[in-house]
Chain A
Amino acid sequence: MRPPPGRQQLSREFIARHQRARIIAALAEETVSRGYRAVTVADIVSRAGIARNTFYENFSSKEDCFLAAQDYAVEEALRRVVEAASAVESWPARVDAGLAAFLGYVAEEPALARTCIVEALSAGPDSLARYEQSLQAFGPLFRIGRKVSPHGEELPATLEETVIGGIFWVIYQRIIQGDTERIEELRPDLVEFALTPYIGADAAKRALAE
């Protein structure tokens, strides 16, 4: 039998996790106020209120921290989307719930959203590639739609990629226009956009009305 974890061990793990989140939040805030290129590790450290050493215990560089922020945000977004989608039955309802959760997250964390959806594109080739990669984490939620689609596997093989890319492009545009506060209003449009190729526009409209 394993001994129960010591108090110190637990709290150290808790502090470490908390510290990472705090540094990531500081990076996002600094990125929004200065633009990613201008941000220095010193800015992040000072905003997070931590020692420079603490930063380097967690990340090797600003770039490393940025990629970690992207991973962190995608993981958290995915967690929220899956949780919301699992709470309802039908596929259209799942897409609706998932998108609502996603847009809610963007509205709740505007700095992190701007960092990961807008700045990630221009921060450099690595983060751009990471961004394009991570979008596809949402693929399975949409791919289920093929099972309820009359066209199933006859649908274009790239459909999920284009649907997700389209949703992110619209959100991207709203963020650069400084319209994050009303981002949740996009929900019906985006749900319809996502459902239509799978089940047709009429069924999508009906599903939305329910």
Chain B
Amino acid sequence: MPADQPNSVDAEHEYPPELSRLPPGRHGLPREFVVHNQRERLIAGLAEAIAENGYASTTIAHITRHAAVSRRTFYEHFNSKDECFVAAYDTVMAELSERIENAFQQESDWPQAVRAGLAAMLEFLAAEPNLARLCMVESLVAGPVVVERYDAAIQGLVPYLEAGREGRSEEVLSRLSPTTEEALVGGMVSLISRRIIAGQAAELGELLPDLVEFALTPYIGSDEASKVARA
């Protein structure tokens, strides 16, 4: 067992299942699992510390306290707070992207697929307000490396909407511009970020009909979009 086994676990907090803590005491788990789990625990600890203090004021002591691991363990995984943040950001964004992708792919009808993808995104962010804040708000203030990744992640949503051009009439296509998808994605993300900044992450699910209607209107018209949105 590693020497830095945590000696106290704070049971007050709730954790997402994939970022959960190890149970206290001797567990006889393989070292690789423990290491992996420590990393996830540090990431969850970072998210909590940031939610409490904001990124700039968060210290490594805050992170290790929330993660209930030693300072040494922190430095076995990361060289700095920034590095821990980048790992946290990548982990959360990968999870979010995977959920969107899975939900989108499960529907064969494009408008329904957009609705499902958006629902998955809002559901994840609403269920994990700390992680929502980490990846959608604090990522912007965490330095240029993360900002670049954030921009790329948002632009990565563009193809889901571009898929809506397929099979549309010439008439519809002629009305779309090269920036249509970029503007739609940016508009949705901006609204979501505003709600998170306002401390309303938990209510993000309520935005689903508005966002679905907004995203679909240029492709299928506002009447049809409104039907899908309010179904």
A and B: interacting chains = yes
**Are A190's CB and B175's CB within 8 A?**
no
> Quick check: is A121 within 8 A (CB to CB) of the other chain?
yes
B125: Cβ under 8 A from any A Cβ: no
- B178 at the A/B interface (Cβ < 8 Å)? yes
Interface string of A141-164 (1 = CB under 8 A from B): 000000000010011111101111
The answer to whether A166 and B184 touch across the interface, beta carbons within 8 angstroms, is yes
With A132-B193, A132-B197 as contacts: A166 and B183 at CB distance below 8 Å: yes
CB B33 to nearest CB in A, in angstroms, measures: 36
Is A89 part of the binding interface, using a Cβ–Cβ cutoff of 8 Å? no
**Of A35, A163, A192, A205, which contacts B187 at CB under 8 A?**
A163
Q: Is B140 within 8 A of A165, CB to CB?
A: no
Is A210 an interface residue, CB under 8 A from the partner?
no
B81 to chain A, nearest CB (A): 15
Distance in Å: Cβ of A33 to nearest Cβ of chain B: 15
Which among B186, B211, B218 has the highest number of chain A CB atoms within 10 Å?
B186
Task: State the majority secondary structure of interface residues on B.
Answer: helix
B214 sits at the interface (CB 8 A): yes
Nearest A residue (CB) for B210: A156
Min C-beta distance of A106 to chain B, whole Å? 15
- The A/B interface has a contact count, at CB < 8 Å, of 128
Q: Is the CB of A170 within 8 A of B183?
A: yes
Encoded as 1 (CB less than 8 Å from any B CB) or 0, chain A from 168 to 206 comes to: 111011001000000000101110110011001110110
B75 CB, min distance to chain A CBs, angstroms? 25
Q: Which of chain B's residues have a CB closer than 8 A to the CB of A165?
A: 186-191, 194
Interface residue tally of chain A, by bracket? 35 or more
Residues of B within 8 A of A164 (CB): 187, 190
Q: Does B226 contact A (CB under 8 A)?
A: yes
Query: Count of chain B residues with Cβ under 8 Å from any Cβ of A?
Result: 42
- Whether B101 is near chain A, meaning CB under 8 Å from some CB there, is no
* Residues B147 and A169 in contact, CB atoms below 8 Å apart: no
B141 at the interface (CB under 8 A from A): yes
- Identify B147's interface contact among A122, A125, A158, CB under 8 A: A122
A48 to B209, CA, bound (A): 50
> Smallest CB–CB gap between B114 and chain A, Å?
14
Report the separation of the CA atoms of residues A125 and B193 in the bound assembly, to the nearest whole angstrom: 12
**Contacts A156-B210, A189-B179 known; A151 to B140 CB distance under 8 Å?**
no
Name the A residues within 8 Å of B188 (CB-CB). 162, 165-166
A205-B175 in contact given A158-B207, A161-B191, A169-B189 (Cβ < 8 Å):
yes
Cβ of B207 and Cβ of A192 under 8 Å apart?
no
Report how far A125 CA is from B189 CA in the complex, Å: 17
A155 vs B226: C-alpha distance when bound (angstroms): 9
Task: Find chain B residues with CB under 8 A from A139 CB.
Answer: none
B177 interface hit (Cβ, 8 Å)? yes
Determine how close the nearest CB of chain A comes to the CB of B97; give it in whole angstroms: 18
How long is the Cα–Cα vector from A180 to B226 in the complex, in angstroms? 36
Residue numbers in B under 8 Å from A176 (CB-CB): 151
A124 within 8 A of B: yes
Besides A121-B141, A189-B178, 6 more A-B contacts (Cβ < 8 Å) are A35-B144, A154-B226, A169-B183, A186-B179, A190-B183, A204-B175
Report the 10 A-B pairs with minimum CB-CB distance, sorted nearest first: A169-B186, A165-B190, A166-B187, A156-B210, A162-B187, A166-B183, A189-B177, A201-B175, A165-B187, A158-B210
Between-chain CB contacts (< 8 Å), 10 pairs:
A122-B141, A125-B54, A132-B197, A156-B214, A162-B191, A165-B191, A169-B182, A169-B183, A186-B179, A193-B183
Binding site for B on A (CB under 8 A): 35, 121-125, 128-129, 132, 135, 151, 154-159, 161-170, 172-173, 176, 186, 188-190, 192-193, 196-197, 200-202, 204-205
